[in-house]
Structure 1
């Protein structure tokens, strides 16, 4: 599918960008330590420390995002645990309003996530977001996490796009830096990825307070293009 368009392609991350990161924080930092302690009959402190060490070892790798990998590592069915708590999955404020605006104004809308395919599938079903996107891709599908240039190369091979004619919104600095290295200049982050944590004071990329803050940015770019 060719996705070149007069309108720039808008590429979104999912967790912490379109969806409230509070769900993922709850799964990995609260619920999994409880389940791990119950299964392995250790103290909550031992469980938390063991999992923290696992997380540090695999952070920002493709394994980090794989429910199958974590199930094999910790002995807890991580995917089943996530689905059990799917009612906690929540869209960030302004998510639908922004996607509706982009759809109405015929922007190509892509979703590029590090969530594995199984996790992606149940979140899309729970939120009903799939219909908004022209392209949906998981890093598991291409074999590289978004933190690495190979992801962007693989994405371009599957779905050609012009990095100079797109916007990318993600809550993770290392991912944004990777996208910048690939040639994407219009990069934005999220000031408050989790509703249960305080907003960021500073970041190395422009931050959106609300997702709908992207709308006037796009409108201004359209006006400037008219007079170029």
Structure 2
């Protein structure tokens, strides 16, 4: 297990005013989403189409790939229409797997105590955000939410960050973004966000992968404000 090329040093918290946090893989364990998309959806599709699980999964993966990197990939309504299944209902079936990543709550507590501006910035569909906030109670720490569906673009595009700047008025030079997706961090950095932080261990069931490009952490203890 190799550390990132750019390990995290002490952050200049006195210069950070805004904290943007991704949801899945950053605040929440990505295990839920991995199980849902790799097991729950293919199994339901197999039952619907009278296919073997392996055949259904192969077909589903092909369909997934056609939407990667687009807003449709994150759109539960799109998948309900495309697959002919009630995707929100399926999410509820495995909602017991939704869980907060280790050391997230102490980090959020510290940010709240210091009266910092904390905002959820996510590609997740609004229904998924609502379900996960209901299961975890994260709304007690995160009062502001911006979904890519509300802004009309995924986080991997410059248009998302332009729209977010218009909607929230954030100043990128004093903003931190924590996310588990390097493409998102790269786009945010290109848009001027000064403190991109990569989450190396988004899933509790998979080994960590450290970023060669961004400061990369296992959990929020490594960047806890003083």
- Asked if TM exceeds 0.5, the reply is yes
Cα distance between partner residues in 2 of 1:32 and 1:101 = 37
3-state SS of paired residue (1:58): coil
Q: Which residue of 1 aligns with 2:117?
A: 108
Root-mean-square deviation (CA, aligned residues, Å) is: 1.4
Mapping of residues 8-87 of structure 1, within 5 Å: 8-87=17-96
> 2:24 is paired with a residue of what secondary structure?
coil
Q: Which has the higher contact order (CA 8 A, sep 6+)?
A: 2
What residue in structure 2 maps to residue 171 of structure 1? 180
- The residue number in structure 1 matching 2:200 is 191
Which is further off, 129-138 or 55-64?
129-138
- Contact between 1:108 and 1:134, CA under 8 Å: does it hold in 2? no
Matched, 1:208 2:208: no
Distance 2:40 2:93 in 1: 11
The size of the alignment, in residue pairs, is 213
* Shift in alpha-carbon separation, 1:177–1:32, aligned structure 2, 3 A: same
CA distance, structure 2, for counterparts of residue 60 and residue 187 of structure 1: 20
TM-score (norm 1): 0.90
Q: Tell me if structure 2 keeps the 8 A contact 1:7–1:108.
A: no
Q: TM-score, normalised by structure 2?
A: 0.90
Would you say 1:154 and 2:163 are equivalent positions? yes
- Structure 1 spans left out of the alignment, 5+ residues: 220-228
Deviation of the 1:95 alpha carbon: 0.8
- Out of 104, 109, 118, which is 1:95 matched to? 104
**Cα distance in structure 1, aligned partners of 2:73 and 2:152:** 13
Secondary structure at the aligned position of 2:198 is classed as strand
Give the C-alpha shift of residue 202 in structure 1: 4.3
| Stretch of structure 1 that moved more, 11-20 or 72-81 | 72-81
Q: Distance in 2 between matches of 1:90 and 1:61?
A: 26
Distance in 2, matches of 1:124 and 1:213, equals 25
Is residue 124 from structure 1 mapped to residue 133 from structure 2 by the alignment? yes
1:68-95 CA distance string (max 9 Å, x none): 1001111121111112221110000001
Runs of 4+ in 1 over 6 A off after TM superposition: none
